[in-house]
Amino acid sequence: MSENLYEIVDSMYNLPPMPVVATKVLEMLRSPDYTADSLAKLIACDPVLAGRLLGMANSAFYGVRREVKSLPRAVVILGENALKSLVLAASLKVLNQKPGPIQKRLWENSVGCAFGAQMVAQIFHSTAPEEAFLGGLFRHIGKMVMLDFDRPLYEHLVAMVDAGKASQDSLERELFHFPHAVIGAAVLEKWNFSKVIIQSTLNHDRLELPAEVYPAAYRLAATVNIASSLCKVLGIGCAKPDDTLQLSMVPGALALGVEYPQMKMLLEELDATYSENAGFFFD
> Could you tell me the CA-to-CA distances from 144 to 50, 63, 78, 237 in Å, in that order?
24, 34, 28, 13
Q: From its phi and psi, is residue 37 left (phi > 0), alpha (psi between -120 and 50) or beta?
A: alpha
Indicate the pLDDT class of residue 36, thresholds 50, 70 and 90: confident
> Could you tell me the CA-to-CA distances from 83 to 21, 34, 166, 195 in Å, in that order?
13, 14, 39, 21
**Using an 8 Å Cβ cutoff, are 17 and 51 in contact?**
no
Residue range 134-149, pLDDT digits in tens = 999 999 999 998 998 8
Model confidence, pTM? 0.85
Mean pLDDT of the chain: 88
Residue 249 has pLDDT above 90, yes or no: yes
Does residue 55 or residue 151 have the better pLDDT?
Answer: 151
**Using an 8 Å Cβ cutoff, are 121 and 269 in contact?**
no
| Lowest pLDDT segment from 85-94, 155-164, 200-209, 238-247 | 85-94
Does residue 113 or residue 26 have the better pLDDT?
Answer: 113
List domains and CATH numbers for the chain.
3-281 (1.10.3210.10)
Average pLDDT over residues 232-259: 96
Residue 60 has pLDDT above 70, yes or no: no
Indicate the pLDDT class of residue 61, thresholds 50, 70 and 90: low
Please report the pLDDT score of residue 222 as a whole number.
98
10 CB-contact burial (10 Å; exposed 0-12 / middle 13-18 / buried 19+): middle
Please report the pLDDT score of residue 2 as a whole number.
64
Residue range 209-230, pLDDT digits in tens = 899 989 999 999 999 999 999 9
